Chains A and B, each alone.
Chain A
Amino acid sequence: MLLWISFAVLTALVLMALLSPLRPRATSGDVERASFDLAVYRDQLAELERDQKAGLIPDSEADAARNEVSRRILAAQAELASEQKAARPVPAWLSIATVVAVPLIALGGYLQIGRPDLPAQPLQARIDGAVASQDMAAMVRQVEQHLEQQPNDARGWTVLAPAYKRIGRYYDAANAYRKALALSGPDADMMTDMGESLVLANNGLVSNEAQKVFEAVRLTSPKHMKARFYIALARRQEGRTADAIAGWTAMLAESPPDAPWRAAVEQQISSAGGKVPEAPALTAGAMPKAPPLAGGQMPKGPALTEEQIQQGQEMSTTDRTAMIRSMVEGLDERLTEDGADIDAWLRLIRARMVLGEKDKAADALSRASEALKDNQQAVARLEETRKALGL
């Protein structure tokens, strides 16, 4: 509201300033044009006088110049006599047109390019009000500022780490977890989250460092499902597919039938070529409703054959990323030709997210919705994925 009042006041001021000279009683000194010339010529004569007195120009030159200026003065005086002035009334349409056109153009233009709905967001105010406005990035910044002052506040790091992970700053998240752990002592959940951040930061590959973290968790709490999941994933990426499938199958055996990670684990088993054991309480055809394991960001690359994994082992990290990328592109192409497989679509979308290609993930999602629009269940799953990934 204040914004529109300010606009109205500004416009009113502009109209006043523009129209005031047009008022009937506004006076304007009608001075003949030639008298302006005369003022200059008279000043030139005075200047000549000064210069001559100061001896700056010889007398002969001064006289010649004076003659010339005098001739100009005579001409100007003749002009003065012939000049005619006729005052005319200001046309009424001009004032009306101004009053109408100025606000119209200004407001019309503003509505085209302005954003009246968007308040200013000065950084400090934004950080101060971060919690109230649920502004994730600003909250992160608030905690960061706090931790700059008090770097030994374990709670701060504990809050910051998952926030980093949520906004995709995985390296920062892993570091924050590391700081929190160093300050508050070991904690299985936090260590697993740290390992997971490392995996996400590494485009879904379980690095040696991450693997060590998960192994450490398993030593202290052998039942920790997420750690076990990643250890199995590491096996698979190492090419030990059988060990991986065994690990996942054991997980399933120990999980309750409605465990949220079931779907993800089953998918891993089937994509690794293993046989998914029957879930006791799940009826055939019922889709798992639980969100995927890692807060919607479970890395699930496309299926890898043993041979590809073998090759992958010999490659450097960048080459491996490139290989993953090329496989994702292959999957994409395949789905463009035949888009009936919902699981393949989901794999593609998540792989895109893991590779940090959010736009392409969104694109794949919309293409999947188009291809599967007749399949109610598939549409529901896509919708779920869309929500989970925040696309």
Chain B
Amino acid sequence: MIPEIGQFALILAFVTAIYQFSVPMYGAWRGDSRLMAVAPPAAMLQFGLIALSFACLTMSYIASDFSVQNVFQNSHSDKPLIYKISGVWGNHEGSMLLWVMVLALFGSAVAAFGGNLPPSLKARVIAVQGSISVAFLSFILLTSNPFNRLDPAPIEGQGLNPILQDPALAIHPPLLYCGYVGLSIAFSFAVAALIEGKVDAAWARWVRPWTLAAWMFLTAGIMLGSWWAYYELGWGGWWFWDPVENASFMPWLIATALLHSAIVVEKRNALKVWTILLAILAFSLSLVGTFLVRSGVLTSVHAFAVDPARGVYVLGILCVFIGGALALYAWRAPTIKTGGLFAPISREGALVVNNLLLTAACAAVFIGTLYPLVLESITGDKISVGPPYFNLTFGPLILPLLLLVPLGPLMSWKRADMWAAAQRLWVAALIALVVGVAALAWQWRGPWLAPFGAALGAWLIAASVQEMVARTKFTSVPLNVAWARLKGLPGAAWGMMIAHAGVGVMVIGVVGITAWKQEIVTVMKPGEVMQVGSRSVTFLGESPISGPNYTADRGRFSISSGGVEVSEIWSEKRVFKPSNQPTTEVGIEPFIDGDLYVVLGDRAPDNARTIRFYFHPLVWMIWLGTALMFLGGCCSLFDRRYRVGAPKKAKTPIIQPAE
């Protein structure tokens, strides 16, 4: 009964989504407040129904109900409980269900917290959100139904890909989806504003926190994915410019641009039309990402052609929403009144430069990701676009942006004096110079870009700290006054400084792992010692291990520094039970100067093993940097200015504008 209730709830959710789309849209057009009032309960109901459906699927997974095809294909009764649960979204059908659930969650959040939105805007936003639900729910019901049944039911499942049985990967897709789908709110707001022909003051106040939330989820999701690739795949890298990674990185870049341009709309009532375009693009790229990952087009264009039902459906959704939104944009954008003027050298101008560089960088990634696919489908030639392309295109666009980041916040709105702003940063510039020279002295044979990168990172961090010092006047007022000022800083200011410093921290980490990485591949017998960087690693030997659903050979290594043993780590080669699929568990020992990374390889004669050693300098700064960006997002999100109350039904409010 449980799977069938899930099935029925999903269909009811689809019907509700149709209602949620059509009635409020019609009501807003008629100006009928009662019809518009239908939107919030419909949105919440839709979420409730999808959540019920999702719960039913999860229960089927937990109970190992193999009469549900999806459970049979992706679960196994021997699997630990947590991976039975994460198996729900570890496959196509379940992950699409999660996708629409998050979509409905965001829609119902607008319904719940949108009290301070003008009713027609709110109704239209929820209606547009409902239309996206209609598209994806029909996609699930028609091409990827997670509740397909098997009769007779098999007695055992086919297991989950063991490489996916990992805590980071269990929470990576939900986070990423929250990010992707969170951008749907910005999209719905943009489309609603285009239909209304008006960008309300509340519009920007809403778009920014929602974009920020989506951006935070994307950041965390991308970071977890990268971290997973780093320690699970055992390739010794953290970012591979893989199309799947790019698919999540492109919306991130546009979302970053969007949350900066939304500031201009909010503060200066300018750049409205551009911001609407960015909001449409950000969600469009989320859809493109979903299409790339879900259609199978990445594995091979031919695989896509063999089973095109799903791919073609998502492609259809893509065309309708992106094409429709852009057509609406072309038609309606000219009617939107543009606001505040500004000089090219101003805070607004700096944010425009930020937007242009980010968008161009995103375009470079877009071309590098899609060009091989287009080429393959037209000529049949298979090419792969790798790091050299991205270093040549993405790099030159992102470096000037990073260089300019500290200047932006120092410029004033409307018109600014760039030279004055630059002069205020002389301390940060000096620190950056010192760091760069030090890096050059330490690794003088290394690539010439490395010291520059280190200096760039230091420049970003130092400028953020300096900005904070300047704002609190730590150097010129008594400590307690400065402390009071520090506490009084708005959340948005904190957020900006922390996030910008996070970018700097990450840049240093990237330079460390890219330019100064050490790699040793060798064959070792138990007892042999290998020097890795400043430490020596002893291969202690291997022993067989058996886990809950795998057996493994565990190689143990002892690390000593300066003749003193500091720790012991292990790396395993595992074979998982149902599928006999082998995987590798990497051994990582984090040190302050970087990670020591050991991968147990294949057997060699005489009890020996092929072993790969890596030393990844400063790699923790990558994770710390992204964590800081996330934290910055949090601070900004809780800025008190987003807590504007809803207007009461009162006539002629009395305003006393100060002159």
Check if B383 is an interface residue, CB within 8 A of chain A: no
In the bound assembly, the distance between CA atoms of A58 and B414 in angstroms comes to 14
A window 28-67: CB within 8 A of B? 28-31, 33, 35-45, 47, 50-51, 54-56, 58, 61, 64-67
B32 touches A10 (CB 8 A): no
Q: How many residues of B contact A (CB 8 A)?
A: 84
The reply on A119 being an interface residue by CB < 8 A is yes
Bound CA span A67–B658, Å: 8
Residues of A within 8 A of B646 (CB): 31, 36, 39
A106-B8, A121-B65 known; A17 and B41 CB under 8 Å? Answer: yes
Q: Assess the A26–B37 pair: CB atoms within 8 A.
A: yes
Give Cα A381 to B567, complex, Å: 74
Contact check, A110 vs B655: say whether CB atoms are below 8 A apart: no
Evaluate whether A36 and B155 lie within 8 angstroms (CB atoms) in the complex, with A3-B4, A18-B42, A28-B34 already known: no
Contact flags (1/0) for A63-99 with B, using CB distance below 8 Å? 0111111101110110010000011101000100010
Complex-state Cα separation, A70 to B655, whole angstroms: 9
Selected contact of A14 from candidates B23, B45, B485, B644, CB within 8 Å: B45
> How many angstroms from the CA of A39 to the CA of B200 in the assembled complex?
11
Q: A37–B201 contact, CB under 8 A? A: yes
Give bound CA distance, A67 to B268, whole Å.
12
* A21 in contact with B11 given A88-B32, A122-B65 (CB within 8 Å): no
B655–A21 CB distance below 8 A: no
- A124 at the binding interface (Cβ < 8 Å): yes
Interface centre among B8, B644, B646 (most CB of A within 10 A): B8
Main secondary structure of the interface of A (DSSP, over half): helix
For B641, what are the chain A residues with a Cβ–Cβ distance below 8 Å?
A: 43-44, 47
CA distance A44 to B658 in the complex (A): 12
Contacts A18-B45, A72-B269, A73-B655 given; indicate if A118 touches B149 (C-beta within 8 A). yes
Contact for B67 among A42, A55, A114, A118, CB less than 8 A: A118
Please indicate the chain A residues that have their CB under 8 angstroms from the CB of B645 in the complex: 39
Q: B4-28 CB contact bits vs A (8 Å, 1 = yes)?
A: 1101110110111011000100000
A219 within 8 A of B: no
Tell which of B99-107, B112-120, B387-395, B601-609 binds the partner: B112-120
Chain A residues with Cβ below 8 Å from B547 are none
Q: Is the CB of A35 within 8 A of B201?
A: no
B60 and A120 form a contact (CB under 8 A): yes
CB of A122 within 8 A of CB of B63, answer yes
**Which chain B residue shows the least CB distance to A74?**
B657
Near A by CB (< 8 A), chain B positions 146-167 give: 147-149, 151-156
Give the shortest distance, in Å, between A30 (CB) and chain B (any CB): 6
What is the CB-to-nearest-CB distance from B534 to chain A, in angstroms, rounded to a whole number? 46
Tell which of B18, B151, B658 touches A45, judged by Cβ atoms closer than 8 Å. Answer: B658
- Complex-state Cα separation, A42 to B9, whole angstroms: 44
B338 to chain A, nearest CB (A): 14
Is A55 within 8 A of B485, CB to CB?
yes
Binding site for B on A (CB under 8 A): 2-3, 6-7, 10-11, 14, 17-18, 20-22, 26, 28-31, 33, 35-45, 47, 50-51, 54-56, 58, 61, 64-70, 72-74, 76-77, 80, 86-88, 90, 94, 98, 101-102, 105-106, 109-110, 113-116, 118-126, 137-138, 140-141
Nearest 8 interchain pairs by C-beta: A70-B657, A122-B63, A137-B155, A123-B64, A40-B201, A21-B37, A35-B647, A121-B67
Residues of chain B at the chain A interface (Cβ within 8 Å)? 1-5, 7-9, 11-12, 14-16, 18-19, 23, 30-38, 41-42, 44-45, 49, 60, 63-67, 77, 116-120, 141, 145, 147-149, 151-156, 200-202, 205, 268-269, 340, 412-414, 471, 473, 485, 488-490, 493, 641, 644-650, 652-653, 655, 657-659
Can you list 7 A-B contacts (CB < 8 A)? A10-B49, A11-B12, A28-B119, A40-B116, A41-B201, A86-B31, A110-B11
